Each structure stands twice: as C-alpha cells, then as structure tokens.
C-alpha cells in the first residue's frame, strides 16, 4: 500500500507528510520540561524539520541534571497504515549507536577477566588475551598486534566492503569474521580513522569467547542492569506484523511513502554488534543517564567511574569541522573517536555523540557532560536531506537559554539543504567523468560469464538469462541473498547495474533519485561502484574463478610482515 505525499514546492513546503494529514499523536511522559521550551521544540519538529526532511515519524528523549527525564515523546505514527501512534515506548533500530553498547560490554568483561591489567588490557594484543581465537588479519603485523582499542576506535585501517551489508552474502558471524583476513589495507596500521562495522562484529564475537558466553547474553545482562527492558536485538525470527510496538520502516520514492521490506532489516543480524539493537526513547533516556553519571544508575555503580572514562578518552584523531559564516554561529567539531563514542566540541563544550543508520532507520545520541544534558532522537523513515543533529543543537541551545535558538536551527537547516544540493551536483559531474573514462577503456574480447569471488566480499555469479521485461537475453548478476541485477553495457568496460531486488529500497531510503549503480568488467576482474556523498565509491572487487577454496587460510607468509 502506498501513502501519497504532495509534491515538493520548496524546502519548507515539502508537502504534508502522511501523519500531518491526521490528528498528530504524541505520547509523552516526564513532563518536567519548561512549557515554552517544549512548545518551541514541538513546533520546530512538527512544522519545520519533519516536512523539510520528508520524514513522518520521530522519537525523542531529553534528560538533564542527574538523569531527570525532562521529555520523552513520539511524533507521528509507528505504523501509518494501521494508525498506531508513535510513543516513547516505540522501538527503533538505533544502528551504530549499538557500538557504544558493544564497547561497554567489552570493557566490563575485560576488567572482570583481567583485573590486574587495568587500562592496559585495551592495549594488549588480542592474540595474547585469547590465543585460541584464531585472530587473523591481512598481514602478520596486524594479526599479532591488534588490540581491543584498535577495534573499538576504528584504527586497524583495513577496507570495509559496505555492499555486503546490503546483499547479505554471509550466513553467520563466524564466516564474516573469518573473511576479514582477506580485507585489503586502507591505510597504515593505527595511522588514520577508518570506520569498519565488521571489526565491531569481530569485537562482539571475541568478547563472547573471552567471557565464555554469547555476545547477545552479555548485552542482555547490561540492558537488565540499566533497566532497559524494552530493548532487544533484531532476530531472523522477528515478525514485524505481530510487533505493534516496533516502528514500521518506510522509504520515499518520487514523493510517495512505501512500506520498507522488513526482511531487509534482518541483514544486520550477522554483524549485530555493529548496529543490531532496537530501543525506545524511554530506554535510551536511561542509557543517556548511565553515561552522564559515569556508570551509575538507580544508586548502583554498574561499571566503575574510572573504567567508564575509558570510553570518552580520545583513542583516534578525528579532526572534522565546518567553519563559521557569522559571529553567532555555533560550530560542531569532531575531535576524536573514543570507544564506540565520538568526542566532539560544540561551542567549546564537550559533546559526546554517535549517530546510527541502517536503512531506513536513523538515530542520534548526544551527551553534554558539563551541562548534564542528554538527547536521543530516532526515525523509521530516514531524512532525505538533513541529519537530526540539528534537533540536538536546538534542544541544547534552548535548555541553556539561547534566545534565538530556533532562528539558528532554521538557518542551519537551510544551509544543510544547500549543501546537499551542491553535493548532488558534484556527484553528477563525477559520475559523468567516471563513465567517460571507462567508456573509453578498450573492451577486451573476453567471456565475462562465470563465478567471481572475493575473500572479504563473497561470491558473485554473472550469467546470461532471458529478461521477461525486455523480452531479450541479458546479462544477469547474482550476489548474496539480495543482490540480483541486470547489467547493461554502457561502453568500453563499463556496465550499468539495475537492481531487481528490494535493495533498491536502501537507495531510495538514503535519498537517492534512482537505483542505478555501475560496474566494470575487465580481464577477469569485476568491480562495483555506487553513489556515496559527492562521488562514485568503490564497493567491491571480485576475480573470476576465486573463492575461499582457492585462497590460502593465512594470507601472508610465515616470515613476512605483509601480505604475500
């Protein structure tokens, strides 16, 4: 069933999203917030942010002081068709915010298992902590020296094949973590920040081995200790149709909102330690409280304060900032990555944060330790243009008494809109350059059909099949559970990739205007590219005739430091 949205006239007149066509329902609790501040927050979210981002639903939690719940609410409907209102007990997939839970159980388990090591446990090679784990990466040096701090602060510097998150080529976490040994180097070990979801999946598996318990059980114990009783991991057995408390996911295509295939959500089950946790605004309010009070909740010190400080200790430099355009601008600077948390600065004050995204769910968590403010937002329909950090800075400014906070938020929204449009223009130019370059590359007289493989990314089959849509024979690609597509020769060694599976919903959920990707096939090498940011990004390289059976179990020679 499609839910129609009126055409976009301008940023602030993007039409009436479905829930605004009905009586808006907001289930709230903890009404300790100043009524005037609440009114400004509600007005901005309902009348500006949601329409501007083509988003229909938002969950919100705000705490202050020692964890006092100021505001916990939901906007719109958790299920638009069934008219189930979104509330503060509605479950959203929090995506990569899960990484901070993973880091929490890792440090908790490590200090319990190795109490004499103290913080040195984070910097002790994993091979020494757990010799039987078979911890192997693409070179000998990484394999022998990688630590939990390296995994949790994204400084191992190996490439991640993001396309595998979409196509689901792996059956288990064990297969995924085994294949990490074939991931290529992205930069020098510990030299840069290189985000990697799969290394967090590895960290979850490893801490389970150290504790002699499953990663899921360790997190479940933490949730119980924190009183987060309505949070849970995604499971392959989940039936969303019988889970009215869980926000139904949606995506927007051509200004029409469609139900997202919930089977696609289950792709995160294998790398769950990187992003597979569902939670509610009320539960996340308790999580914010746990962090602001450095491990203390309900008069119980769940983790010692000194250990909690490890999470926000800068472990990997992350100098990312924008610049002021006026004297009154308040700029966020991302300074460093700790353990599952980003350490940033907002107007000079410490701002601990992390975002979470797994299509089409989008979440954001903010902590302002000195001001004792915590904010959480989550949506089941990803904003096409703007991130929810705008809401967080608005709430923060209002709580500390900035008079023109709403005006600044509006200006920031407009700036982000222009930035997004400029990004799309640059991408179109870069895609055109890509196609021109490879279209001129001389095509080899070769048979492109067969089985292609990659140690890290899995297996792809290219075959010739009859296409019922065109009534002709075409080039067909099959990759994992969800990666089915037709390839059309564009020129030279270049092919357009037209997905015929539901992973097209990922692209529309991210605000893409179409679902087309590109590939090259040359001399037995298949490479896949997709639009990311302002360019076409490399997403995977596969070689004809390669599979796990043809690759050495140890990808480096015994007497070498690097790959063979």
- The reported pLDDT for the residue numbered 469 is 85
Q: Write the CB contacts of 476 (distance below 8 Å, at least 6 apart in sequence).
A: 462, 463, 464, 465, 467, 484, 485, 486, 487
For residues 485 and 442, the model is more confident at 485
- The reported pLDDT for the residue numbered 315 is 97
Report d(CA 353, CA 367) in Å as an integer.
Answer: 6
Residue 251: strand pairing partners: 258
- The reported pLDDT for the residue numbered 13 is 24
Percent of the chain scoring above 70 in pLDDT: 91
- The reported pLDDT for the residue numbered 373 is 97
Q: Does 28 score more than 60 pLDDT?
A: no
Q: Does 491 score more than 90 pLDDT?
A: no
- The reported pLDDT for the residue numbered 463 is 96
Rg (CA), the chain: 24
* Phi, psi at 562, each rounded to 5°: -115, 180
pLDDT (average), residues 173-181? 95
Confidence of residue 426 (pLDDT cuts 50, 70, 90): confident
pLDDT 10s digits, 359-384: 999 999 999 999 999 999 999 987 65
- The reported pLDDT for the residue numbered 27 is 47
Nearest residue to 105 via CA among 307, 353, 376: 307
- The reported pLDDT for the residue numbered 17 is 27
- The reported pLDDT for the residue numbered 445 is 62
Percent of the chain scoring above 90 in pLDDT: 68
Q: Does 205 score more than 50 pLDDT?
A: yes
Confidence of residue 14 (pLDDT cuts 50, 70, 90): very low
Q: Contacts for 365-369 with beta carbons within 8 Å, 24 or more apart?
A: 365/94, 365/97, 365/100, 365/284, 365/287, 365/288, 366/392, 366/396, 367/288, 367/291, 367/292, 368/396, 369/292, 369/312
Q: Does 19 score more than 80 pLDDT?
A: no
Q: Is the peptide bond before 53 cis (omega within 30 degrees of 0)?
A: no
Report d(CA 483, CA 462) in Å as an integer.
Answer: 12
Write the secondary structure of 202-236 as one string of H (helix), E (strand) and C (coil).
HHHHHHHHHHCCCHHHHHHHHHHHCCCCCCEECCC
Q: Does 245 score more than 60 pLDDT?
A: yes
Q: Does 146 score more than 90 pLDDT?
A: yes
Report d(CA 72, CA 245) in Å as an integer.
Answer: 16
Report d(CA 204, CA 271) in Å as an integer.
Answer: 9
Average per-residue pLDDT for the chain: 88
pLDDT 10s digits, 107-131: 999 999 999 999 999 999 999 999 9
Range of lowest pLDDT (24-38, 267-281, 311-325): 24-38
Report d(CA 547, CA 316) in Å as an integer.
Answer: 34
* Torsion over CA: 488, 457, 442, 545 (sign): negative
Report d(CA 407, CA 44) in Å as an integer.
Answer: 10
Confidence of residue 564 (pLDDT cuts 50, 70, 90): low
Confidence of residue 11 (pLDDT cuts 50, 70, 90): very low
Tracing tokens 């059956």 back to the chain, one arrives at 171
Nearest residue to 176 via CA among 189, 164, 158, 186: 164
For residues 389 and 153, the model is more confident at 153
Q: Does 314 score more than 70 pLDDT?
A: yes
Q: To the nearest 10°, report the CA torsion of 73, 85, 353, 286.
A: 60
Report d(CA 264, CA 65) in Å as an integer.
Answer: 39
pLDDT 10s digits, 51-100: 888 788 899 999 999 889 999 999 999 998 899 999 999 999 999 999 99
**Cβ atoms 267, 505 nearer than 8 A:** no
Strands (E) across 155-221 are located at none
Q: Does 338 score more than 50 pLDDT?
A: yes
pLDDT 10s digits, 73-82: 999 999 988 9
- The reported pLDDT for the residue numbered 4 is 33
pLDDT (average), residues 413-427? 78
Q: Which residues of 24-39 are buried (b: 16+ CB within 10 A; e: fewer)?
A: ebbbbbbeebeeebbe
């Amino acid at each position: 069933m499609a839910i129609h949205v009126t055409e976009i006239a301008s940023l602030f007149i993007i039409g009436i999203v479905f829930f605004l066509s009905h009586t808006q329902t907001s289930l709230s609790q903890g009404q300790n917030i100043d009524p005037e501040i609440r009114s400004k927050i509600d007005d901005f979210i309902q009348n500006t942010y949601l329409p501007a981002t083509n988003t229909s639903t938002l969950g919100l939690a705000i705490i202050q002081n020692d964890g006092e719940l100021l505001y916990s609410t939901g906007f719109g409907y958790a299920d638009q068709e069934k008219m189930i209102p979104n509330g503060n007990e509605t479950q959203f997939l929090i995506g990569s915010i899960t990484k901070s839970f993973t880091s929490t159980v890792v440090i908790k388990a490590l200090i319990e298992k190795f109490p004499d090591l103290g913080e040195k446990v984070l910097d002790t090679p994993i091979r020494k902590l757990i010799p039987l784990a078979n911890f192997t990466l693409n070179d000998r040096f990484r394999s022998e020296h990688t630590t939990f701090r390296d995994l949790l602060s994204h400084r191992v510097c190996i490439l991640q094949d993001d396309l595998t998150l979409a196509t689901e080529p792996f059956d288990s976490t064990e297969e995924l973590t085994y294949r990490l040994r074939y991931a290529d180097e992205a930069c020098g070990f510990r030299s840069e920040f290189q985000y990697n979801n799969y290394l967090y999946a590895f960290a979850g598996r490893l801490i389970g081995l150290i504790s002699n318990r499953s990663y899921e059980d360790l997190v479940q114990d933490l949730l119980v200790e924190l009183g987060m009783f309505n949070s849970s991991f995604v499971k392959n057995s989940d039936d969303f149709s019988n889970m009215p408390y869980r926000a139904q996911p949606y995506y927007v295509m051509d200004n029409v909102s469609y139900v997202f295939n919930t089977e696609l959500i289950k792709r995160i089950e294998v790398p769950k330690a990187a992003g597979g946790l569902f939670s509610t605004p009320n539960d996340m309010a308790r999580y914010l409280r746990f962090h602001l009070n450095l491990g203390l909740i309900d008069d119980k010190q769940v983790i010692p304060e000194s250990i909690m400080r490890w999470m926000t200790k800068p472990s990997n430099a992350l100098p990312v900032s924008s610049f002021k355009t006026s004297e009154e601008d308040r700029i966020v600077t991302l300074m460093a990555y700790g353990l599952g948390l980003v350490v940033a600065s907002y107007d000079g004050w410490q701002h601990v944060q992390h975002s979470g995204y797994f299509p089409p769910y989008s979440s954001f968590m903010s902590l302002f330790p000195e001001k004792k403010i915590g904010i959480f937002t989550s949506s089941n329909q990803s904003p096409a243009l703007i991130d929810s950090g705008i809401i967080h800075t608005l709430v923060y400014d209002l709580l500390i008494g900035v008079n023109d906070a709403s005006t600044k938020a509006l200006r920031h929204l407009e700036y982000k809109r222009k930035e997004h449009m400029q990004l799309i223009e640059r991408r179109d130019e870069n895609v055109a350059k890509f196609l021109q370059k490879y279209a001129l590359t001389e095509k080899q007289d070769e048979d492109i059909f067969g089985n292609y493989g990659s140690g890290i990314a899995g297996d792809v089959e290219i075959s010739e099949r009859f296409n019922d849509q065109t009534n002709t024979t075409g080039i067909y690609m099959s990759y994992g559970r969800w990666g089915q597509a037709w390839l059309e020769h564009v020129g030279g060694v270049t092919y357009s990739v037209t997905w015929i599976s539901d992973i097209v919903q990922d692209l529309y959920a991210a605000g893409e205007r179409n679902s087309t990707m590109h590939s090259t096939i040359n001399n037995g090498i298949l490479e896949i590219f997709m639009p990311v940011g302002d360019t076409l990004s490399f997403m995977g390289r596969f070689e004809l005739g390669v599979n796990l059976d043809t690759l050495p179990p140890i990808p480096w020679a015994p007497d070498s430091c690097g790959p063979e």
